[in-house]
Amino acid sequence: MSSIVIAVFKLTIGLLGNRFRDKIADSLKEGDMTDQSFRDFIVREIKDIKSKLDGLARKDLLASISFFNEGIKLLYEVFDEARPKSENNNAVTTTQAATALACAAETFSLTKGMNKLEVANLNASASGVLSRAKDRFRDARRKATEAFANTALSTFDRLLAMQYRVMATILETLDNPVYSIAACRVCLEELNSLPAVQKCFKVELEKGFKAAFRKDVRSDLISTVCHTNRVIFNVALMVDFGNKELSNWPCVEIREIKVSPLQNDRVLKVLRKRGMEHCFGTLELLRGEDGSLVWPVSIASNSLGQFVVANGNGDKMIKFFDSRGEFLNCFPVVSETSRDDVYCLCQVATDSNGKIYALVELKPQVKSLIFKDNNTGAVHVFDWDFQPLHKFSLKEEFSTVAFRPSLTVNDKGKVLILLITQPNYSQRKPTIQVYQSDGRFVNNFGDGILKSPVNIAAASEGRTLVTDNGDSCVHVFNEHGEHIFKLTDMLEFESSFYTAFHWPSEHVVVAGFRPQTEELQVLIYTMEGKIVRHFEQTARGIRFLAELTVTVEGRIGILAMFKTGTKSSYFKVLVI
C-alpha cells in the first residue's frame, strides 16, 4: 500500500479528536501507523464515542459509526495484505530512520500518480476487501448525512455526524481521493452555515456581553469546526494542489461578513488556548529546545513533509521542523575542529533519497590582511540519518557580496548551484554550475540569459526553474541547460520574489511581497506556464523575502526578514 494512501488515511482519521490526533503524531514518529496497538486504539476510540450515544434520535449517528468501524477493520486487512511479507511476519525489524527513508523514496516515486493512488498491485483477495470497505464507508457517509440533517440532535451530535460524514467521504474514495474534494466542500458549506456555528463565531468575534458566558462550550465548537476545515484543506492540498477552489475556501458568514475558519486572527486565539494552532492557515516554525533560528539563510523540504532550515552565521546547524511548525532535530554541518575554517553555511537542499546537501563558504587557507570578495566553497553531503557521506569543492571561487548563491538537486541526481564568480558588481555574470552527486563537474549554463537571478529550483524531467528579478520572470531550462521558455504572467513585484516546485502535482509556486499593501502574493502555475491559482495574504512587518519551499503535502514555507523597529530586524519562517 503506497505511503500516500497512508498519509491520506492519517489525515482523515485525525478528525476522531484532539487526543487521537496527538496519538497519530506520536505514532508517526515511531513509524507504526499500521501496527496492532494503533488499530486497537482506533477501535477503542470509536467504541468510546459510540458508548456515549443513546436514544432513538441518535440511531442514524450510531449506525454511521458502526458502518465506519467495519470499514476501518476491513481497511486494515487491506493494509496487512499490502505490507511486505517480512514485515507481516516480523522477520525484519526496521529502524525509525530506515522506515522514514523508505517512506521518502516511495513518496517521491509516486508523485506522478498522485491523483490516483497506487492500489492496482493488490491481489484479488485484497481488492475484494477494499471494495467491501468502501461499501461500508459509503453506508457510513449516508447515515452520517441523515444524522447531520436531524434537527432533533444536539449541536455537538450534529458536528460529530459531520466529522464521520467527512471521514467516510474521503475513505470511500481512498484509491482516488481527489474525487472526494467536491463532496467535502459541500460538507463544509453545510457545516459553516449551521445556525449554532454562526452564532458561536459571532459571539466570539464581536466580544459583547454574551462572550462572558459558556466560553468552554463555544471554544469546543469553534475548535471542532476549524479542525474539520483544516483536515479537508490538508487532504485537498495533498491530492489536488492546483485546484483554484483552494483559494476560495468556504467561510462562516456573520451579517454578510465572511469569516475564514483558517485565517481569522481571533479564531487563532481560540485555537491557541486549545493547543490547536496547527489548524490555522498560517504557522510559524516554533523554536523549541535547540530550535532557535538565529540567522536562517535557507529553507528546503524533504519527502517526509518536513521543513529543513539552514542556520547560517550562528551555530551553522541544519534544523528540522514538522508540518505543524514544531522543532524535531538538528545537526552540525561541520565538526568542532573544522568550524573555524567555514565563513558561513550558505544553502541547504534535499534529494529524493533523503540525502541532505549543504553549501558552505570557506575561509582562505592563507591568512591575509586584505579582505577577499571571492572565496572557495564546498558541498557537504549527508545521509537520511545525518551521517556525513562525502564533500566536494566547487570548480571556482564565488562571491557572496550583494548576492546569495542558491542550491538544488534535480531528479537526475545532479547538484545545481546558482552563483557569481566575478566579485566586481558591475562585471558580475551569474551562472549555474552542474555537478554529479559525487562532485564531478558537468557543465554550466545560463550565461548571457540571466540578469539578476535570486534562486533556482529543480523541476520534473531534469528541468530547472530560475527566478530572475532583473527580467521579472521565471526561466525554465531543460535537463541539458537549454532555455525553453519563461513564466511572466502576473509577475509584477516591487521586491524580490522566489520560486519552488511541488513535485506531486508538478506545479510551479511563486511567492512575492508587496510593501505598499503589506501582502504576500502566491501564484501557482502549471509547467506549461498557465496560472491556475493565486491568493494574497496580509503579512505585516515583512522587510523582504529570502527563500521559498513547498512540501509534498502542499504546505508552503516562506523564509522572510521582519522588522521590529526602525533598525532591528529578525528572520522567521511562515508556513501557509
Q: What is the pLDDT of residues 271-317, one digit of tens each?
A: 887 777 777 767 776 554 555 777 788 999 998 889 999 987 667 88
**What pLDDT score does 115 carry?**
41
In this structure, the number of other CB atoms found within 10 A of the CB of residue 363 comes to 14
Mean pLDDT, rounded, for 226-255: 89
Mean pLDDT over each residue of the chain, to the nearest integer:
81
Average pLDDT in the 146-157 region? 93
Residue 401: per-residue pLDDT:
67
Report pLDDT for 129.
92
Of 35, 26, 11, the C-alpha closest to 94 is 35
Predicted local confidence at residue 105, as pLDDT? 41
| Better-scored residue on pLDDT, 558 or 289 | 558
Amino acid 442: pLDDT? 96
Higher-pLDDT residue of 380, 561: 380
pLDDT of residue 479: 94
Name the band, by pLDDT with cuts 50, 70 and 90, for residue 107: very low
With beta carbons less than 8 A apart as the criterion, state whether 229 and 249 touch.
yes
Quote the pLDDT of residue 1.
47
CA gap 204, 267 in Å, rounded: 8
What pLDDT score was predicted for residue 497? 93
Rounded mean pLDDT of 118-136?
83
Query: How far apart (Å, rounded) are the C-alpha atoms in residues 173 and 180?
Result: 6
Which of 76-90, 96-110, 156-170, 474-488 bottoms out in mean pLDDT, i.e. has the lowest? 96-110
- Listed in sequence order, the residues at least 6 apart from 446 whose beta carbon sits closer than 8 Å to its beta carbon are 418, 430, 431, 432, 453, 466, 475, 477, 481
Strands of the 356-362 sheet, one edge to the other: 342-350, 356-362, 377-382, 388-393
The top-scoring range by mean pLDDT among 81-90, 395-404, 436-445 is 436-445
Q: pLDDT, tens digit, for every residue of 490-510?
A: 788 878 899 999 998 999 999
Chain-centroid distance of CA 37 in Å reads 28
Strands 556-563 and 542-550: antiparallel
DSSP classification of residue 210: G
C-alpha cell at 68: 465506519
pLDDT, tens only, 426-442: 667 889 999 999 999 99
pLDDT of residue 124 exceeding 80: yes
Cβ atoms within 10 Å, residue 275: 11
Percent of the chain with pLDDT over 70: 78
Predicted pLDDT at 2: 55
Cell of 113: 500518480
Residue 37's pLDDT is what? 65
HSE at residue 36, side-chain half, CA atoms within 13 A, is 4
User: When comparing pLDDT for 148 and 81, which is higher?
Assistant: 148
> Per-residue DSSP letters for 169-182?
HHHHTTTSGGGGHH
Residue 32: is its pLDDT beyond 50? no
| pLDDT over threshold 70, residue 422 | no
The dihedrals phi and psi of 493, each to the nearest 5 degrees, come to -115, 145
The secondary structure element, H or E, covering residue 146 is helix 124-148
Please report, to the nearest 10 degrees, the dihedral formed by the alpha carbons of residues 18, 21, 26, 31 taken in order: 170
Q: Are 307 and 301 in contact (CB under 8 A)?
A: yes
> In this structure, are residues 314 and 299 in contact, taking their beta carbons and an 8 Å threshold?
no
pTM: 0.81
What does CATH list as the number for 286-575? Answer: 2.120.10.30
- Return the pLDDT at 50: 64
Q: Provide mean pLDDT across the span 184-213.
A: 87
Type of residue found at 82: A
Whether 348 has a pLDDT exceeding 60, the answer reads yes
At 207, is the secondary structure helix, strand, or coil? coil
pLDDT over 80 at 118, yes or no: no
User: What's the confidence (pLDDT) of residue 187?
Assistant: 96
Q: What is the pLDDT of residue 94?
A: 40
Provide the phi-psi class of 490: left if phi over 0, else alpha when psi is between -120 and 50, else beta: left
E strand map for 260-341: 283-284, 296-301, 307-311, 317-321, 327-332
Q: Choose from 40-44, 52-56, 415-419, 421-425 the range with maximum mean pLDDT.
A: 415-419
Task: Give, rounded to a whole angstrom, the gap between the first and last alpha carbons of the chain.
Answer: 29
Give the best-scoring range by mean pLDDT among 203-207, 275-279, 484-488: 484-488
Most confident of 339-343, 371-375, 449-453: 449-453
8 contacts 239 by C-beta, under 8 angstroms? yes
Strands, sheet with 519-526, edge to edge from the N-terminal-most edge strand: 497-502, 507-514, 519-526, 531-538
Query: 249-253, 492-496, 553-557: lowest mean pLDDT where?
Result: 492-496
What was the pLDDT predicted at 285? Answer: 64
What single letter denotes the amino acid at residue 479?
E
Which of 199, 245, 242, 244 has the alpha carbon at shortest distance from 222? 199
Per-residue pLDDT at 462 exceeds 90: yes
Is 120 a residue whose pLDDT tops 60? no
User: Given pLDDT bands bounded at 50, 70 and 90, which one contains residue 251?
Assistant: very high
The amino acid occupying position 124 is: A
> Where is pLDDT greater, at 524 or 335?
524
Positive or negative, the CA dihedral 335, 337, 342, 343 is positive
- How many other CB atoms are there within 10 angstroms of residue 443's CB atom? 11
How far apart, in whole angstroms, are the C-alpha atoms of residue 257 and residue 279?
Answer: 21
Longest dimension (CA), the chain: 87
Of 280, 152, 259, 276, residue with least CA distance to 198: 259
380 phi and psi, to 5 degrees?
A: -100, 135
Of the pLDDT bands very low, low, confident and very high (cuts 50, 70, 90), residue 55 is low
